[in-house]
């Protein structure tokens, strides 16, 4: 994936694309890949980096949605469980089964969740990741060595999927590019071109150079997450908002707060949400919250009340109480929930996806979840075929392997996230042993990875490397700030940048990463969430 050549292709004006996708998160990348693999001429533009928005800030679960089961939404759960199985099959280097344990402090809870998880297993059918089972008190403690033992009756074990969200996004972009799509980051849609009352393309801006140019397409898909209404207003200035935005925060802790290989699932917090403590890349990710009424923005900040809420729950369920001093990183994602006239309670809105088509034929895809990105893409491209008057073609993505797909057992463990591309990273280190050095003693990433990110994964900034390709910002925000200068120097060499660029990158990244440290949280009075 070479950005310069993609940009020349886009800016040449020589092509009228069949399908142009705006937005490079899970929804947009999935749509671009689906369309390209059906043989359409496809372009995708992303205003920042791939997965800069919600798609790098998820709980990292590939799941049917246990809470939707509680809401009785069986078809949503069944369809998501099928997608879970397909995701694991098509991107095995990034998606793997994970054992979850629900600790029960009452017999009623035990049977309630035991029955629920049996239904969950059955709905997964042949794509089940493992059978759920009842655990005794001792077995529960074996799985969750630091779970609060006081009053513990037993537990319920079940299996779901876990993944690396931003890495999957990068691999989806690469797969779409390999299928012929012109995929560019740092390229924003700043307006729509309309001809005879119909959307005929977009006005795009190359964010790096500031140059604006027209991109023409038969069909335009708006997959801009929490920003869909901005793009919809380029089409219909008075359009009523489609999405409500709610915020979800995660706190990252050292792994010793929950050793072992199982995740802890708290089925009911004070606001009725599920809370997870999940081992991920040798850290513990704890979350999430659900704070309605927030603004759509690219770098949302956690609120102090949300952090307190997560830490208080973690303290309730773990024997060693994590405190603010233990927090390595805090990340915040925005939910683009499709508003159905409900106000104030976003937890009650559907996570299922919505496709809306304006009178000028702008297609907007929103809602859903990472797990169902492929299905959402299939649905939206079916609609795009109708809108574009194309003869329908068969969707191929259920069988399509994602870039890097390989049995992870065959890959060196520290490079497993690259799947089959690990060989390329290793080769860089073998050719130049200086590249085999670690970026930082507290981070598991090497210089060679940065080179790989620049050459093969369209990394343009220090943030692209440390936030989404090597997940340093999530694993340890402070260490990632310390690693920024070396990353900036490697990138500058690869991209032909000067010392001024290096200094600017270090400054910009440091400011951003400070927002992922506890001191970066926003103090907002009278938050709706309280401790349990």
* Parallel/antiparallel/unpaired status of strands 154-163 and 95-104: antiparallel
User: Euclidean distance between the first and final Cα of the chain, in Å?
Assistant: 48
Of 351 and 446, nearer to ligand FAD (C-beta) is: 351
CB 377 within 8 A of CB 370: no
If you search the block for the tokens 């900034």, which residue do you land on? 461
Task: Looking at 91-227, list the stretches that DSSP marks H as alpha helix, in order from N- to C-terminal side.
Answer: 107-124, 137-143, 165-178
Q: How far is the CB of 249 from ligand FAD (least distance, A)?
A: 7
Q: How far is the CB of 55 from ligand FAD (least distance, A)?
A: 3
Of 141 and 217, nearer to ligand FAD (C-beta) is: 217
Of 46 and 235, nearer to ligand FAD (C-beta) is: 46
Tell me which residues touch ligand FAD (CB under 6 A). Answer: 22-28, 45-48, 52-55, 57-61, 63, 188-189, 223-227, 231, 248, 288, 333-336, 368-371
Whether the CA torsion 28, 32, 34, 35 is positive or negative: it is positive
Of 63 and 471, nearer to ligand FAD (C-beta) is: 63
Q: How far is the CB of 231 from ligand FAD (least distance, A)?
A: 6
CA dist 267 → 125, 148, 275, 346 (Å):
23, 15, 7, 18
Q: DSSP state, 273? A: -
Helices and strands (H, E) in the chain, number of each type? 16, 18
Beta bridge pairs of residue 53:
none
Which residue's C-beta sits nearest to ligand FAD?
25
Of 155 and 248, nearer to ligand FAD (C-beta) is: 248
Of 146 and 371, nearer to ligand FAD (C-beta) is: 371
Q: Residue 182, class by beta-carbon neighbours within 10 Å (0-12 exposed, 13-18 middle, 19+ buried)? A: buried
Of 3 and 369, nearer to ligand FAD (C-beta) is: 369
Q: How far is the CB of 73 from ligand FAD (least distance, A)?
A: 15
Q: How far is the CB of 52 from ligand FAD (least distance, A)?
A: 5
Q: How far is the CB of 134 from ligand FAD (least distance, A)?
A: 25
CA–CA distance, 187 with 212 (Å, rounded to integer): 9
Q: How far is the CB of 169 from ligand FAD (least distance, A)?
A: 8
Q: DSSP state, 348? A: G
């Amino acid at each position: 994936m070479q950005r310069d050549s993609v940009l020349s292709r886009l800016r040449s004006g020589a092509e009228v694309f069949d399908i142009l996708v705006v937005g490079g998160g899970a929804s947009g990348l999935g749509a671009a890949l689906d369309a390209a693999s059906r043989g359409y001429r496809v372009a995708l533009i992303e205003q920042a980096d791939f997965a800069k928005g919600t798609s790098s800030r998820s709980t990292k679960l590939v799941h049917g949605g246990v809470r939707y089961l509680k809401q009785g939404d069986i078809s949503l759960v069944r369809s998501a469980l099928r997608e879970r199985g397909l995701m694991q099959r098509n991107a095995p280097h990034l998606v793997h089964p994970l054992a979850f344990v629900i600790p029960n402090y009452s017999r009623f809870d035990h049977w309630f969740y035991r029955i629920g998880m049996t239904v969950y297993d059955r709905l997964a059918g042949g794509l089940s990741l493992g059978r759920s089972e009842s655990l005794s008190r001792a077995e529960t403690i074996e799985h969750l060595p630091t779970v609060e033992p006081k009053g513990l009756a037993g537990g319920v074990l079940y299996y779901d999927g876990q993944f690396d969200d931003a890495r999957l996004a990068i691999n989806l972009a690469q797969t779409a590019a390999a299928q012929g799509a012109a995929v560019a980051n740092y390229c924003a849609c700043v307006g729509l071109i309309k001809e005879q009352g119909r959307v005929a393309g977009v006005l795009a801006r190359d964010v790096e150079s500031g140059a604006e140019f027209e991109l023409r397409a038969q069909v335009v898909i708006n997959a801009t997450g929490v920003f869909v209404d901005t793009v919809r207003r380029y089409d219909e200035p008075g359009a009523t908002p489609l999405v409500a935005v709610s915020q979800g925060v995660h706190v990252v802790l050292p792994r010793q707060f929950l050793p072992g290989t199982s995740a802890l699932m708290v089925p009911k917090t004070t606001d009725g949400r599920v809370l997870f403590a999940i081992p991920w890349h040798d850290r513990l990710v704890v979350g999430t919250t659900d704070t309605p009424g927030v603004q759509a923005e690219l770098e949302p900040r956690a609120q102090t009340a949300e952090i307190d809420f997560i830490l208080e729950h973690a303290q309730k369920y773990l024997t060693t109480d994590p405190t603010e001093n233990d927090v390595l990183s805090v990340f915040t994602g925005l939910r683009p929930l499709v508003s159905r006239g409900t106000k104030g309670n976003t937890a009650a809105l559907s996570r299922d996806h919505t496709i809306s088509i304006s009178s000028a034929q702008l297609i907007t895809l929103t809602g859903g979840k990472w797990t169902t990105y492929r299905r959402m893409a299939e649905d939206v491209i079916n609609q795009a075929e109708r809108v574009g008057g194309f003869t329908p073609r068969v969707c191929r993505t259920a069988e399509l392997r994602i870039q890097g797909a390989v049995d992870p057992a065959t890959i060196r463990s520290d490079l497993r996230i690259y799947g089959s591309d690990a060989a390329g990273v290793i080769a860089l280190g073998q050719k130049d042993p200086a590249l085999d050095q670690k970026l930082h003693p507290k981070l598991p990433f090497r210089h060679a990875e940065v080179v790989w990110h620049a050459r093969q994964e369209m990394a343009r900034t220090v943030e692209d490397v440390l936030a989404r390709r090597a997940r340093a910002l999530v694993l340890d925000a402070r260490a990632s700030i310390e690693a920024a200068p070396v990353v900036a120097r490697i990138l500058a060499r690869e991209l032909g940048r000067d010392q001024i660029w290096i200094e600017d990158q270090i400054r910009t990244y440091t400011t951003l990463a400070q927002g992922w440290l506890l001191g970066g949280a926003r103090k907002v009075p009278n938050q709706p969430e309280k401790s349990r």
